[in-house]
Amino acid sequence: MQLYNKLSAEERAELIDNAGKSRLTLSFYQYAKIGNPQIFRDHLFLTWDPMEVLGRIYVAHEGINGQLSLPADRFNEFKAHLDTIDFLKDIRLNIAVEQDNKSFLKLKVKVRNKIVADGLNDDTFDVRNIGVHVDAGKFNDLIEDENTVLVDMRNHYESEIGHFKNAVTPDVDTFRESLDIIEDDLKAHKEDKNLVMYCTGGIRCEKASAYFKHKGFKNVFQLEGGIIEYTRQVKEDKLENKFLGQNFVFDERRAERISDDVIANCHQCGTPFDVHTNCANEACHLLFIQCDNCKTEMDSCCSTACKEIHALPYEEQKELRKGQGNSNDIFKKGRADHLPYKKDLRNIFDVLKPQKEA
């Protein structure tokens, strides 16, 4: 009985090409009480593997968080299976804005302590007491209200390439870091401001809204379905799009273009550009923004040192990596010291100072 992926990414990519089928990329999440995550995890894998589902799915006692792709002609079969699970029946599925048959190349269903690493002790507050869900139209109205503070609940490398107009974008590497920063900087406005939050698909805001209500914020709102669902509604209902740039996604596509605005810069030369890449030196693998000219000049590497290593024969590179852990730079997500045009660090709550001083 196969319970784990056995094909390499290269083998799977070849199978996808040979199949000649269009695939759908989608995501969903649901907070729910799962008694035995391991049994549930195995059930999902055994059911989805024959459907040719690929992706990254996390299962925990608190629920499920999935990003995946599947053949378009098996979507109804997949949805029918979800409907057999009580807490997933009629769940909203966020369909990707831009499709790519190779957005995922393996099926990974993993048991985790949390479906999002939030670092919170959920026993101290009611995770069901969430903020008000708003659709794209209401969201647009709210963020034009002078009494609204709009906060991006994503990490710095996500908001760097795209965010809503006038959003506060916390300069953080993890979701957990942003919670304390937001509470501290907005503590004077717990009752007189609307706290409006958004993220990629809604899952981070779901927990954050309950947390901030627990911390005393009175008017808490969250964009239902996140940026992905917002974009769908904007197109379908012909609303004004207030998102600038690209929406970062955690698959092989790395981003979906929402508007033509380019709000980021190549980390190596500073030219306007907003496409992330990973350093081609596998011992580094740093995620950073690199324009096409720098990609050619640097051979897809983030530094001269990495370029020199990448030019070595592959077996020699492997030998150099033996016994070495990942470079610390891999966790900096575009903020390595050797990148001259990395994102400028600043106090992103400066926009509130006039309000505080008034």
| Active site members | 199
Distance CA 312, CA 107 (A): 32
Work out whether strand 162-164 and strand 194-198 pair parallel, antiparallel, or are unpaired. unpaired
| Amino acid of residue 146 | E
Q: Residue 277 has what DSSP assignment? A: E
Using the structure block, give the residue that is written with the tokens 């309950």.
Answer: 210
**344, exposed or middle or buried, with CB in 10 Å at 0-12, 13-18, 19+?**
exposed
| Amino acid of residue 333 | K
- The pair of structure tokens assigned to 202 is 């809604």
Judge contact between 290 and 302, C-beta under 8 A: yes
Judge contact between 16 and 23, C-beta under 8 A: yes
| Amino acid of residue 309 | I
What stretches of the chain show up as alpha helix (H) in DSSP?
9-19, 37-48, 75-83, 136-143, 156-159, 175-185, 203-214, 226-237, 292-297, 304-310, 314-321, 353-357
138 phi and psi angles, rounded to 5 deg: -65, -40
| Amino acid of residue 199 | C
CB atoms near residue 169 (< 10 Å):
20
Radius of gyration (C-alpha) of the chain in whole angstroms = 21
Using the structure block, give the residue that is written with the tokens 């709550």.
Answer: 349
Judge contact between 246 and 161, C-beta under 8 A: yes
Distance CA 213, CA 37 (A): 28
